[in-house]
Amino acid sequence: MGKKYSQSSNYSNQGRSSNAANGNTSGLYDANNCIHTVPVQQRTHWWQVDLGGTFPVYNITVWGRANYWNNPYSRLYPFTITVDGQTCVSVTSAAGNRKNSVTCSSVMYGRVVRLNVATPGRMLNLCELQILVCKEGFYGLDCSTSCDTNCDGRCNRITGHCTQNVAKGKTCRQISTYSNKGAASHAADGNTEGDFFKGSCIHTAENDPPGVNHWWEVDLGGTYPVHDITVWARDGRTSQIGTYWNDHLYPFTITVDNKTCVRMVSAPSTGRSKSVTCSSVVYGRVVRLTLERTGQTLNLCEFQVFGKLL
Ligand SMILES: [Ca+2]
Ligand SMILES: [Ca+2]
């Protein structure tokens, strides 16, 4: 609820797209609870929601229109649900009643969820579509189970499996090294310590080479689905952009095998760590962080890749 909705056409204001996510599962179209596309034999009738960010999509429940949900004129069935254009599930026949809970073939990470009436569709009536996504730290069909404490509060929101830091202990490289205390391996040693002099942060060399953006990377040793990353800044100083040594980390770009995962401009308002997510799951092996301040040395105390989705 409260997201952006759209649909292929609008039969009347009474059938507007937000009606399928207004929290009311009533099947009464006349009560402004359902959507209604223009009834023509066009190729596509669809309704979609833009979740505003990437979410794990798995359980979806749809409610059809009272007395029409199983109408032979394809007001809902058969339909296909997609997540960012990838098929989540195809439903060929109607359920026993208006309500139908379906699941994607696997957990799909995406932003735009669309219900398409299968061709040839005639119109679409949909009274509610719900996507259940647990908040961080909880999982299960009703999101009532908390992640195992060993997961450090992070687990798959469907299965409960720990999402482990797959970067820890892996081979690291960086453009240059300031001193032994700033070795590349320090950003994946499993220690988030922020005091540079305790030897758990990286530090690239000043003016070597000049005029380029400094980078650090980790080779995960195999292909992983990369999505959730947490970066830890250096402790101990007030920088130009907030506390800590944030101007030696932000803004940065993260790539996975040279494919863009995310660009992050702003440092967190509090705390040394920031969790970021790729715009979509990026499969790859080498994850690189590049500081977008030409010639500036890069400080990074820990880089965690929570890449194991299932
Ligand atoms: Ca509704
Ligand atoms: Ca470290």
Question: Mean pLDDT, to the nearest integer, of 292-310?
Answer: 85
Ligand 2 center to residue 187 CA distance, Å? 4
Question: How many degrees, rounded to 5, is the angle at CA 244 between CA 242 and CA 249?
Answer: 90
pLDDT at 63 over 90: yes
Neighbours of ion ligand 1 (CB under 5 A): 19, 22, 24, 33, 127-128
Q: Which of 7-21, 133-147, 151-165 has the lowest mean pLDDT?
A: 151-165
For ligand 1, the distance from its centroid to the CA atom of residue 120, given in whole angstroms, is 25
| Percentage with pLDDT > 90 across the chain | 56
- Please name each of the domains of the chain with its CATH number: 4-132 (2.60.120.260), 171-306 (2.60.120.260)
Question: Can you give the pLDDT at residue 169?
Answer: 93
156's torsion region: left (phi>0), alpha (psi -120 to 50) or beta?
Answer: beta
DSSP 134: P
> What distance in angstroms lies between residue 18's CA and the mean position of ligand 1's atoms?
8
Task: Output the CA 209–ligand 2 centroid distance in Å.
Answer: 24
Q: How far is the CA of 43 from the centre of ligand 1 (A)?
A: 25
Band of pLDDT at residue 208, cut at 50, 70 and 90:
confident
Query: How far does the centroid of ligand 2 lie from the alpha carbon of residue 67, in Å?
Result: 61
Question: What distance in angstroms lies between residue 67's CA and the mean position of ligand 1's atoms?
Answer: 15
The pLDDT of 70-80, averaged and rounded, is 83
Is residue 62 over pLDDT 80? yes
Which pLDDT score is estimated for 122?
83
Q: How confident is the model at residue 310 (pLDDT cuts 50, 70, 90)?
A: very low
Residue 243 DSSP code: B
pTM over 0.85? The answer is no
Residue 259 CA to residue 287 CA, distance in Å, equals 9
Ligand 1 mean position, distance from CA 84 (Å): 23
Distance 61 CA to ligand 1 centre (A): 12
**Percent of the chain predicted with pLDDT > 70:** 92
**C-alpha torsion sign, points 287, 111, 109, 157:** positive
Q: Is the pLDDT of residue 141 over 80?
A: no
CA of 265 from ligand 2 middle (Å) equals: 22
Mean pLDDT across the chain: 88
88 CA to middle of ligand 1, Å? 22
More confident residue, 227 or 182: 182
End-to-end CA distance of the chain: 27
Q: What pLDDT, on the 0 to 100 scale, is given for residue 301? A: 97
29: phi then psi, degrees, rounded to nearest 5? -60, -40
| Per-residue pLDDT at 150 exceeds 60 | no
pLDDT attached to residue 84: 94
Proximal ligand: closest to the CA of 231: 2
Distance from the alpha carbon of residue 302 to the mean position of ligand 2, in angstroms: 4
28 CA distance to ligand 1 centroid (A)? 9
At residue 162, the pLDDT reads 67
Nearest ligand for residue 64 CA: 1
Q: Nearest bound ligand to CA 232?
A: 2
Q: Which ligand is nearest to the CA of 182?
A: 2
Ligand minimally distant from the alpha carbon of residue 186? 2
CA of 238 to the centre of ligand 1 (A): 50
Least confident segment among 15-24, 36-45, 192-201, 228-237: 36-45
Q: pLDDT at position 309, please? A: 46
Q: Most confidently modeled of 25-29, 140-144, 183-187, 268-272?
A: 183-187
Q: Which ligand is nearest to the CA of 16?
A: 1
Residue 262 binned pLDDT confidence (cut-offs 50, 70, 90): very high
> Nearest ligand to the C-alpha of residue 127?
1
The count of other CB atoms within 10 Å of the CB of residue 233 is 27
Q: Which ligand is nearest to the CA of 66?
A: 1
Query: What average pLDDT score do residues 179-201 get?
Result: 95
The predicted structure's pLDDT at residue 239: 67
Give the largest CA-CA distance in the chain.
Answer: 74
Q: Is 307 a residue whose pLDDT tops 70?
A: no
Q: Is the pLDDT of residue 13 over 90?
A: no
The 10s digit of each residue's pLDDT in 219-261 is 998 888 888 899 999 998 776 666 789 999 999 999 999 999 9
Return d(Cα 257, Cα 292) in angstroms, integer: 18
- Identify the nearest ligand to the CA of 34 by its number: 1
Q: How far apart are CA 193 and CA 273, in angstroms?
A: 11
pLDDT at 293 over 90: yes
